[in-house]
Structure 1
Amino acid sequence: MVVELHASVLTTNGSAASGPPDARFPYWSFTKTIIAICAMKLMQAGRLDLDATLPDQSFSMWELLRHDARLPDYGQLPDYHRAVAGGGLPWTAQDMLDRVATALPARTDGWTYSNIGYMFARDHLQHCADEVFGDMVQRLICRPLGLKTVRLATAQQDFAGLHWPEAANYNPAWVYHGCLIGNAAEAARILHALMSGELLAPSLTRKMLDALPVGGALQGRPWQSCGYGLGLMIGRMQGAGLAIGHTGGGPFSTNAIYHFPDMPNAPTVATFIHGTDEGAAEYQAVRLATGLR
């Protein structure tokens, strides 16, 4: 099967891209990586304590950012996926939480990937910074790096200009922690800047890389071992060694944005494909990274 691929590769020796440079995409769960970067920036500024329990909660930002707060996920609700596919108005955050509370246990056993946890994390960041998340991203990441395409989608019309036609029918309010949009090159640029030390002090980057092991090989995907740091999927991918970044996906597109420090010139690769196969996006990232040898 031919995959429509849009990609950007950054290395210490330069960059390469496929697909039109003006094409824009949803970043989906790569937004989690950016939430975590913002958290570390606020910590660096003395405005956030990662280890403190959030007001009126039983978990800390550290636990939220590692998906270690034992929270359920609205992605487990069949009604959620039916509602998204039906094109209706998104539920309010409280309605979503009420539906989850009715259908799922309040606490999970062990590590559980939770979009709800990242909604709480985003909300706490906004409280600590006294600033909405979209403005925070511009101030802390986009302007320092000179990024021009990255912004927070807040309404359905923000998706209307994205690359794949189905985007026009999607309301980003269904992503409760927020969904950033932008081109492939700037997604790669953000992760590359994180890993090269442009965005954070080395001690804070090391905190983000403190991964909790969460499993072994995944069928249909290149992962041989899996872990999760702060907003980062971290493990080993077949043929490419250590992989650090995030995969994301929604109803019509998928992305894989990863840094491969074991590869020559330590490439950072961002791939965006049509469809919902996360493994396909990840294998394309591996292919591009290993093709540089």
Structure 2
Amino acid sequence: MLKTRVAGKAVDDHGEARVVPWWSFSKTVMAAAALVLVDQGRLRLDEPVKGQPFTLRHLLQHTAGVPDYWVLKAYHEAVAQGREPWSFDTLLEKARANVLLFEPGAGWQYSNIGYAYVRREIERVTNGCLASALEELLFAPLGIQDAGLALGLDDMRRTGLGELENYHPGWVYHGVVVGTLRAAASFLAELSSGKLLKQETFFAMRSPLALKVSVEGRPWMEPGYGLGMMVDTAPSRHCWGHTGLGPGSSIGVYHFHEPVSVTVAVFGQTEDQGEVESEVVRYAMVGS
């Protein structure tokens, strides 16, 4: 596995120069961009998204009731066959996304489509270019290099992963960032330092809705979900960040607040997210 550990100004790297897909850690990136726009008054966290019954907060916390495309057999077949991504409207139709699973705020359901709506909100107020928005809102202010939105096959091929040779990043409808592990760990460390968001905004981002979900095979003790962040509130390993899964690989990027302040990113060529998360916890606590 590749791993990076950031504690203050000390960086311990094992494979930090390797470009990897950030998969659903990109949700933390998208959420941070949306919340910068909230702080700037360009987006509203608790007003309904235009034409929809749910708010940006609902989308960020997966409480909007929006279905997910990950359960669609046709989606996985199309990806496996190396097809061009469907249009967003086609995706919504195939997923029956107009039929909510529950009233917004009345339940919790992880939804990639929900984050595709977040992407559209970011693009709506930033002239339609998500790659530029992420650079201007996040990466440049935090001094993050070696990371950016994947736009085509060439971006995915930079990873050198055979499973991604013909994988179009457009299949990740909310957008997938590719970059080094050091960039991933540094991004979360800088975000957690309070340099980007207002204090109350970042507090909301890492304040979780407690989840009653199975954590079998995974290291979490008191799991929850904030605004684009997976959170464990257990005092022995209070942390926030995100895990991501894609064809043939997984990534986990977490900032541990207690008992030590350290940020860890781990990437493995495995689809066992629990294996990667367990290495995140071990590396954070042991440091080697």
Is TM more than 0.5 here?
A: yes
2: CA distance, partners of 1:142 / 1:13: 18
- 1:12 CA displacement: 2.1
Query: Matches of residues 126-165 of structure 1 in structure 2 within 5 Å?
Result: 126-165=123-162
Aligned partner of 1:71 in structure 2 is 66
Q: Is the 8 Å Cα contact of residues 232 and 238 (structure 2) preserved in structure 1? A: yes
Q: Is the 8 Å Cα contact of residues 217 and 224 (structure 1) preserved in structure 2? A: no
Q: Is the 8 Å Cα contact of residues 233 and 244 (structure 1) preserved in structure 2? A: yes
Task: Work out which of the residue numbers 4, 7, 12 in structure 1 matches 2:3.
Answer: 7
Give per-residue Cα distances to partners, 1:153-193, cap 9 Å, x unaligned.
Answer: 11112111114222222111100011111000010011111
Q: In structure 2, list runs of 5 or more residues that go unmatched.
A: none
1: CA distance, partners of 2:196 / 2:274: 29
Aligned partner of 1:249 in structure 2 is 245
What amino acid maps onto 1:34 in structure 2? V
Distance 1:196 1:141, change over 3 A: same
Percent identical: 35
Task: Work out which of the residue numbers 222, 235, 242 in structure 1 matches 2:219.
Answer: 222
Q: Is the 8 Å Cα contact of residues 31 and 178 (structure 1) preserved in structure 2? A: yes
Q: Is the 8 Å Cα contact of residues 17 and 182 (structure 2) preserved in structure 1? A: no
Aligned partner of 1:288 in structure 2 is 283
Task: Work out which of the residue numbers 42, 48, 52 in structure 2 matches 1:57.
Answer: 52
What amino acid maps onto 2:122 in structure 1? L
* Secondary structure, counterpart of 1:142 in structure 2: helix
- Residue 274 of structure 2 is aligned to residue 279 of structure 1: yes
Q: Is the 8 Å Cα contact of residues 24 and 161 (structure 1) preserved in structure 2? A: yes
Aligned partner of 1:93 in structure 2 is 88
Give per-residue Cα distances to partners, 1:204-224, cap 9 Å, x unaligned.
Answer: 111112211112551111012
Task: Work out which of the residue numbers 199, 205, 208 in structure 2 matches 1:208.
Answer: 205
* Secondary structure, counterpart of 2:125 in structure 1: helix
Give per-residue Cα distances to partners, 1:19-72, cap 9 Å, x unaligned.
Answer: 2x3310111111110111111111111111111111111111010000010110
What amino acid maps onto 1:196 in structure 2? S
- 1:225 CA displacement: 2.0
Task: Work out which of the residue numbers 34, 49, 57 in structure 1 matches 2:29.
Answer: 34
* Secondary structure, counterpart of 1:122 in structure 2: helix
Give per-residue Cα distances to partners, 1:217-240, cap 9 Å, x unaligned.
Answer: 511110122111100001147x95
Aligned partner of 1:270 in structure 2 is 265
Give per-residue Cα distances to partners, 1:85-105, cap 9 Å, x unaligned.
Answer: 12122211111111111xx88
Q: Is the 8 Å Cα contact of residues 258 and 269 (structure 1) preserved in structure 2? A: yes
What amino acid maps onto 1:95 in structure 2? T
What amino acid maps onto 2:14 in structure 1? S
2: CA distance, partners of 1:262 / 1:25: 28
2: CA distance, partners of 1:257 / 1:37: 15
Q: How many residues align?
A: 284
Q: Is the 8 Å Cα contact of residues 92 and 98 (structure 2) preserved in structure 1? A: no
What's the C-alpha RMSD, in Å, of the aligned pairs? 1.7
- 1:108 CA displacement: 1.4
What amino acid maps onto 2:270 in structure 1? G
1: CA distance, partners of 2:17 / 2:8: 24
Task: Work out which of the residue numbers 75, 83, 107 in structure 1 matches 2:100.
Answer: 107
2: CA distance, partners of 1:132 / 1:113: 25
1: CA distance, partners of 2:31 / 2:109: 17
Q: Is the 8 Å Cα contact of residues 216 and 224 (structure 1) preserved in structure 2? A: no
**TM-score normalized by the length of structure 2:** 0.94
2: CA distance, partners of 1:152 / 1:134: 5
* Secondary structure, counterpart of 2:274 in structure 1: helix
- Residue 181 of structure 2 is aligned to residue 184 of structure 1: yes
